[in-house]
Chain A
């Protein structure tokens, strides 16, 4: 059974739209992460958290909010989506060290 799941798997929205990406982990890990992956840029960290209610700013946070509601659930919010946010988004969890990734959400902003 997959330990990190993401929903939706694909999402298309328009410029200015609101989008929420969801992530759930059953690893009982304290850390959760949101990354975006674009060709030529590897994985870039948007936000991360080390427990419910905690939020840490990553390396490319502009235009994104995140919220960690429980140990299991981490959400990424795009309140005014722009075409530059078209990307593949990965969620991950860890107990520090090795990170375990979800299957990804492909977001297209038209």
Chain B
């Protein structure tokens, strides 16, 4: 069974800082890796995803995947107070991209 673990559990950074969130997974056959963001009182919403080793950048956000080390990460450049939220990583199980397993989440607070 897929196990997904996130670190750290919570993080406080100053505005303008670089933020790095980490996720490890257990199923070496996983093919789809994603980060979701959930603002307080709202539903989770997909932020970024990646299928193959390497990195992908979208604006201030970069996702990095290393399948050999069973690790992927999210980096936020120039963190803003509006980035304060719960961040959830997720990975699929084997070849079934219809089923995702989520980590427990990292609570990020960006203070002005």
A residues sitting closer than 8 Å to B (CB atoms) are: 30-31, 35, 40-45, 48, 50, 56, 58-59, 90, 94, 96-104
Contacts and interface: CB of A to CB of B under 8 A. Distances in A.
26 contacts: A30-B98, A31-B98, A41-B104, A42-B103, A42-B104, A43-B44, A45-B101, A48-B98, A48-B99, A56-B99, A58-B99, A59-B1, A96-B97, A96-B98, A97-B32, A97-B49, A97-B97, A98-B34, A98-B49, A99-B46, A99-B100, A100-B46, A101-B43, A101-B44, A103-B42, A104-B43
A92 B15 CA distance: 32
Interface residues of B, number: 20
A33 to B, nearest CB: 8
A45 B99 CA distance: 9
Interface of B: 1, 6, 32, 34, 42-46, 49, 88, 97-105
